[in-house]
Structure 1
Amino acid sequence: MLTFAAAVFFLIVTPGPGVLSTAGVGSAFGLRPGLRYVAGLCIGTNLVALAVITGIAAVIFAHPAIRLVLLAASTGYLLYLAYRIATAGANVAFTAAARPLGLRDGLALQAINPKAYAVNTTLFSGFSFLPDAAVAEAVLKLLIMNAIWVPIHIGWLLAGIWLHRLALAPEVQRRINIAMAASLLAVVALALFSLRG
């Protein structure tokens, strides 16, 4: 169970579309809209987990046309997001939005987020600790995952709010943007690599 918890932490804490956009919402719009967005992400990631646990995700991804559409949508969105971040110039800009992202936006992002599917597939298909009680193990895994997932995303939200309040030098802000864009491109590359098989 501790190995599973460690895997959850390291798979979720790494930058991906959810945590980067959470920081962006915090930076651009503050705590209250950020909490609504995180709630949508949380519901979305749990729906993805349930789709993985029940096998629905496997059935959907077994159809090449559906898999291609979802891959194109998620890859396109992540490339767009990486471009917007990389070209934001001297302002820390995790995401650009004219209005605060909310509950529906969080749900929608997780539905096409390749990292959400990859993480949940890894977590729920491996790290068995109750092999004779699959349902109890799945429930415990969901509880452990959420106990780690929620504080990590709240931490990224607060980091975005904190970064907004800093008066960083323009060159530092550019470097942060480039690093975040590179992280998203790495997520895209990993998603494409994992779906090749």
Structure 2
Amino acid sequence: MKTFLKKLALSITCLTTLSMGGVANAQNSDGFTDLIDGVSLSGWNIIGSANWVIGNGIVEGNKPNGFLVSTKTYKNFVIKAEFYAESNTNSGIFIRCQDPNKVSQSTCYEINIWDTRPEQAYATGAIVDVAKVDPVPKAGGRWNTMEIIANGSNFKVMMNGVVTVANGQDSKYSEGPIALQSAGGVIKFRKLQIKPL
């Protein structure tokens, strides 16, 4: 009987995970939770007119202008992301957004993915209006990794293993949803994970 109950509990867990959109929101052994599963937009809302394509383990934005906004809010965390950008891609990972229906650099912290941003100090790898980057790492034409640490008013960003923001400081926003931007060019995410601190 105990064996049957264990199998039943395991089956229910598997079905629950599938009904939540595959592996999205399933915690890994390292404490990270997958926020995208590449087969659905479970856990995300679409705002704006961007075109989001899901499949083959990838979420792709290929038309401006809009966001995927998480249905959950997050406070202190580590984010690990893998993304592909083109040389003209204008995108970013927005954190601690204050209004899930009006995402912008003035209502969230924007970790930028935009190699050709006119003001290069806040281009790829920077936190717009909070922490500058120099030199600007180039993301265009390849897959990249990004790690974002937000702990209270302290921020750190690494791209492809190189620190782009060592000690960002700001206390405007303490928590909120995460948003993925599609504002020009093609942006693809094949991994987005979060672990609370």
TM-score over 0.5 for the alignment?
no
TM range (shorter): under 0.3
Q: Which has the higher contact order (CA 8 A, sep 6+)?
A: 1
The structure that is helix-richer by fraction is 1
TM-score scaled by structure 1?
0.22
